[in-house]
Structure 1
Amino acid sequence: MLSRSGITISPRSRSYSGENRGGWACGNWFEFLLVVVVASILLLGALGLVIFWVFYYRNGVGWLDEPELLFNYHPILMIGGFITLSGFSVLMYRICRCCRRIYVKLLHTFFHLLAMPCIALGFIAVLESHNRATPEPIPNFYSLHSWMGFVTMGLFALQFVVGFFSFLVLLCCESATASFRAALVPIHATFGITTFLLAVATCLTGLTEKVIFTLKSEYSGLPEEGIVVNALAMVLVAIAIFVSYALARHEFKYKSHMLVSIQSDL
């Protein structure tokens, strides 16, 4: 029997983990790098594409005296916060799979912290643009997109509070709270990917709503702007696929997660 950090490893588990390490041949590394690199490119590509759409087709962004341009902050900030930054946050446990766990947690938290002001400002931008619209204000929270967005923001905030409390604050009493934090890991992870996928779905409904309202009957003719928006939507769908695959693939998990998983099967 071997023991390290309170985890007992039997010869069986040592052999099993050795087989897993041996399984990381060229094909495994190629799969891992392909998924992570493509996911990262897509996350950055979504942000770049929405910025291109807003500035090339929607006349850029404006301030309070230009409600239509003020609205344009909304898609940029929401995709930047909910998709790009949150996407990299959840991918940290795959990209940094060989780093010390505490560093991965801090990077995970850092990207979440960057996403929060983006989401908050994007929410304020759409409210202000609706309230300042002329000749009369646009109603808020009537569409499916707005309802989904409200739920997504609530889950995102709840995830951050639970994660901050259980995985950062409780680390001050690491030995006393180890079992409690371990029990929260699968719950936190499940709600994390659920929130991310819901964010993707919310962005898709928002893009559809916006393009129908702005292009109206022209959209059925698939104009150039419609193609760009559809391409952005397909990038978001691809992000959902690649990020979900990266998180679901057992072999891609952070190496200490694999060790605990192996031990629990014995």
Structure 2
Amino acid sequence: MDIINGSFIDQLNRAIRGKPKQKRYEEDPDNAWNCCSWCEYLLIVILSTILLVGVLILTLFWVMFYRGGFAWTERPLQQFNLHPILMVAGFVTLSGFSILIYRLCRCVKHIYVKLIHMFFHAVAIPCIALGFLSVFDSHNALQKVNFYSLHSWLGFVTMGMFLLQFVIGFFTFLVMLCCENKTYSCRSAMVPIHASLGLANFWLAIATSVTGIIEKERETAKDPNLSAENQLIEHYITSAIGLTLVVIGIIVTFAVRRTNAPASAKVYVTERI
């Protein structure tokens, strides 16, 4: 009888105390990085930064020197040129850095990482909105049909998914922190979903950009005012942009799904609350 009572008291005490708090992956000394891990980290930081900024500069170079620069409604052809720049800036460069923040900011408090992540996405929203508005106005002024191609359909889906991700992420991972303990299980369940959909949306943006490049190349090939030499140079530039976009997608995916963790850990960098 004493043994039963003692066991019952132990169980009651454990229930009152609750489960011991688990350490985060990055707080566990057993998961400390070695020299190879830090070399990989530095390589990813340098390479991803060069590519994310480089693809934007390359797109800007293409538009400025081979597409006639920028304008607004007074010159519809040049107004269209805002579209590739702003979409690459919003969907690729800013979103890419936003995703990589969870990989790059190893020594920053997690709440600050969340805020930086949200900031990059928040800055991307006006870029995307202006990019969409510029192509929509340009097509209307030139009496072109809107939403007729695979590129436009993919773009519409990408924008909708991006907005949905932003709203859900904002309320789930920031607003719900007001009741941190009570919403822990909900946020835990949402983390892998949010991370996976975020990567899917990033790849969807890359696919949309590549199809847009292909569509623009087809239009350029029909332009009688362009010489064969200029068409060839533009072809090389746009091909370089497309290839860079694909490489960016591979590096970002590798970076956020890789932790240098032992196999037993099974923890992804992005899957932290």
Q: Do both proteins adopt the same fold according to a TM-score greater than 0.5, normalized to the shorter chain? A: yes
Cα gap change, 1:259 to 1:125, in 2 (>3 Å): closer
Query: Are 2:244 and 1:235 aligned?
Result: yes
One-letter amino acid matched to 1:20: N
SS in 2 for 1:7: coil
The alignment-based identity, stated in percent, is 50
Deviation at 1:113, TM superposition (A): 0.4
| Structure-1 separation of matches of 2:90 and 2:82 | 12
Deviation at 1:214, TM superposition (A): 1.3
1:167 corresponding residue in structure 2: 173
5+ residue gaps, structure 2: 1-16, 262-266
Cα gap change, 1:220 to 1:149, in 2 (>3 Å): farther
Larger radius of gyration: 2
SS in 1 for 2:45: helix
Alignment partner of 1:66 out of 52, 63, 75: 75
Deviation at 1:260, TM superposition (A): 11
| Structure-2 separation of matches of 1:259 and 1:130 | 42
Cα gap change, 1:72 to 1:8, in 2 (>3 Å): closer
Deviation at 1:18, TM superposition (A): 4.0
Residue pairs, 1:182-193, within 5 angstroms: 182-193=188-199
Alignment partner of 1:105 out of 114, 128, 132: 114
8 Å CA contact retained: 1:36, 1:246? no
Query: Are 2:222 and 1:216 aligned?
Result: yes
One-letter amino acid matched to 1:60: G
TM-score by length of 1: 0.85
Task: Choose 29-38 or 73-82, whichever is displaced more.
Answer: 29-38
2:21 corresponding residue in structure 1: 7
Query: Are 2:148 and 1:142 aligned?
Result: yes
| Structure-2 separation of matches of 1:221 and 1:19 | 57
Query: Are 2:31 and 1:20 aligned?
Result: yes
**4+ residue segments displaced more than 6 Å:** 217-222, 257-261
| Structure-1 separation of matches of 2:269 and 2:85 | 40
TM-score by length of 2: 0.83
2:105 corresponding residue in structure 1: 96
Cα gap change, 1:54 to 1:260, in 2 (>3 Å): closer
SS in 1 for 2:222: helix
Alignment partner of 2:41 out of 32, 36, 43: 32
One-letter amino acid matched to 2:256: L
Task: Choose between structure 1 and 2 for higher RCO, CA contacts under 8 A separated by at least 6 residues.
Answer: 1
Deviation at 1:250, TM superposition (A): 2.6
1:152-199 Cα shifts (integer Å, max 9, x gaps):
001000000100010111111111111111110000000000000100
Deviation at 1:6, TM superposition (A): 5.5
